[in-house]
Amino acid sequence: MNNSKTIVVKLGTSVLTGGSFTLDKAHMVELVRQCAQLRQQGHKVILVSSGAVAAGKEHLHMSCDLNNLANKQMLAAVGQSQLILTWQTLFNIYGIHVGQMLLTRADLDDRERYLNARDTLGALLKHNIVPIINENDAVATAEIKVGDNDNLSALTAILAQADHLLLLTDQPGLFTADPRSNPEATLIEEVDKIDDRIRSLAGGSGTHLGTGGMATKLQAADIARRAGVETIIAAGHRPNVILESVNKTAIGTRIKPLGSPIEGRKRWLLAGPVSSGKLCLDAGATDAVVLQGSSLLAKGIKHVEGVFQRGELVELCNAQGEIIARGLCRYSSADLSQIKGLHSEQFKALLGFDYGKAIVHRDDLVLLDD
Ligand SMILES: Nc1ncnc2c1ncn2[C@@H]1O[C@H](COP(=O)(O)OP(=O)(O)O)[C@@H](O)[C@H]1O
Ligand SMILES: N[C@@H](CCC(=O)OP(=O)(O)O)C(=O)O
């Protein structure tokens, strides 16, 4: 079917537990029914499922300090197997297989590992298996974590070249303020651009088990929209929410994608590496990069922040300090401290070598301003 869409459905702990410390299996079966129906309509479905920590707590009947990393990892290790067992049992009702993928930031940083994860996801979808993704909480420490499943689901949507990202939570969408503390807050139905004004509306999680609240949902939506993916934030308990979101019923908060989807390597630049440093550009270089589609030359670099090697990802900032692009830097921070502000003809005399005049080549750069 040529109208086939790929949909990433992110289910927050709040949806899977209904705010309790146990998995709400009656509701999970309802979500599975909707996923099965979407597949019958010819669409592909990927779940990003939170709930491992909650499931671990439920299984062990143990109260422990959730601020302690080892405790949380223990609960996730126990809970993840319970969680996937529950999903498999429920999808079995419809004769659907599931495949578990546990990822960390490190799996997406490295281009080769990113491509491996992409191929696994592709193979699961090709064989009509529903991928169920979570962060590998049992082993991931802060340095190699994505940190929250909202961002992980956006990275998954990029990996899968999805059409829609549904962030299902315990609120009907993004409100003008946290509705838990502001009963007057109203739903925002459509967002064109995620700027500081929109970000300022989003608070953190209102529960002990949720991570990130609305703030991480907006981060995720911003990454997704730049990769051409539409995001919908909606209530996981709304009847038929998954079916209606995809079939264009006005529902929750819809965050529009940017016009044209970007090509593979640039998608990885958005999804993958964490930045190792910053290049601050003058106005001329900013215009050249943003408006003229040029590579970044050393001449327009005013200063360099951070320590990085050749080939690492850096952020490019304009004179106001706003991040305008991400890209792979062809020179190390040590080299750049010598050649910033100079013409490329001088590189060899100063460094003893030269990797070409582009500091960040156009092919290795993705723009963020819009
Ligand atoms: N502007 C806002 N609009 C809606 N919810 C918000 C807002 N700011 C903060 N929140 C909070 O975000 C919570 C949902 O995020 P979170 O607890 O992380 O849930 P999940 O487990 O679904 O990811 C809501 O319960 C709400 O308290
Ligand atoms: N990976 C964790 C969930 C992390 C997370 O982002 O939680 P949530 O904000 O509920 O989606 C778990 O499975 O418990």
Q: Which atom of ligand 2 is nearest to the CA of 149?
A: 6
Q: Are 191 and 198 in contact (CB under 8 A)?
A: yes
Share of the chain above pLDDT 70, in %: 98
Q: What's the pLDDT tens digit per position in 130-180?
A: 999 999 999 888 878 898 999 999 999 999 999 999 999 999 999 999 999
Q: Any known ligand binding at 327?
A: no
Q: Any known ligand binding at 318?
A: no
Q: What's the pLDDT tens digit per position in 68-112?
A: 889 999 999 999 999 999 999 999 999 999 999 999 998 988 888
- Tell me if 210 CB under 6 Å of ligand 2: yes
Q: Provide residues with CB under 6 Å of ligand 1.
A: 12-15, 50, 169-171, 174-175, 177-180, 201-203, 205-207, 210-214
ipTM of the complex: 0.98
**CA–CA distance, 302 with 282 (Å, rounded to integer):** 6
Provide the whole-model pTM.
Answer: 0.88
Q: Are 168 and 11 in contact (CB under 8 A)?
A: yes
Q: Which residue has the higher pLDDT, 74 or 276?
A: 74
Residues carrying CATH 3.40.1160.10, the chain: 6-267
Ligand nearest to the CA of 52: 2
Encode 26-55: b = buried (16+ Cβ within 10 Å), e = exposed: ebbebbbbbbbebbeeebbbbbbbbbbbbb
Cα of 350 vs centre of ligand 2, distance in Å, is 50
Q: Which atom of ligand 1 is nearest to the CA of 205?
A: 17
Residue 198 pLDDT greater than 90, yes or no: yes
Residues carrying CATH 2.30.130.10, the chain: 275-367
Pocket test for ligand 2, best of 136, 148, 151 (most atoms within 8 A of CB): 148
Residue 358 pLDDT greater than 90, yes or no: yes
Instruction: Kindly indicate whether the domain formed by 6-267 is annotated with CATH number 3.40.50.1980.
Output: no
Ligand nearest to the CA of 100: 2
**What CATH number should be reported for the domain whose range is 275-367?**
2.30.130.10
**Partners of 326 in beta bridges:** 315, 366
Q: Which atom of ligand 1 is nearest to the CA of 207?
A: 17
HSE value, Cβ hemisphere, 13 Å, CA-based, for 123: 9
Pocket test for ligand 2, best of 50, 80, 103 (most atoms within 8 A of CB): 50
Q: What's the mean pLDDT when you consider all of the chain?
A: 93
Cα of 151 vs centre of ligand 1, distance in Å, is 14
Banded pLDDT at 266 (limits 50, 70, 90): confident
Q: Any known ligand binding at 68?
A: no
Residue 351 pLDDT greater than 60, yes or no: yes
Residue 212 pLDDT greater than 90, yes or no: no
Residue 370 pLDDT greater than 70, yes or no: no
- Tell me if 103 CB under 6 Å of ligand 2: no
Q: Any known ligand binding at 299?
A: no
Find the helix packing angle between 52-60 and 69-92, rounded to 10°: 100
Cα of 58 vs centre of ligand 1, distance in Å, is 22
Measured between its terminal Cα atoms, the distance across the chain in Å is: 34
Q: What is the 3-state secondary structure (H, E, C) of the chain?
A: CCCCCEEEEEECHHHHHCCCCCCCHHHHHHHHHHHHHHHHCCCEEEEEECCHHHHHHHHHCCCCCCCCHHHHHHHHHHHHHHHHHHHHHHHHCCCCCEEEEEECCHHHHCHHHHHHHHHHHHHHHHCCCEEEEEECCCCCCHHHCCCCHHHHHHHHHHHCCCCEEEEEECCCCCECCCCCCCCCCCECCEECCCCHHHHCCCCCCCCCCCCCHHHHHHHHHHHHHHCCCEEEEEECCCCCHHHHHHCCCCCCEEECCCCCCCCHHHHHHHHCCCCCEEEEECHHHHHHHHCCCCCEEHHHEEEEECCCCCCCEEEEECCCCCEEEEEECCCCHHHHHHHCCCCHHHHHHHHCCCCCCEEECHHHEEECCC
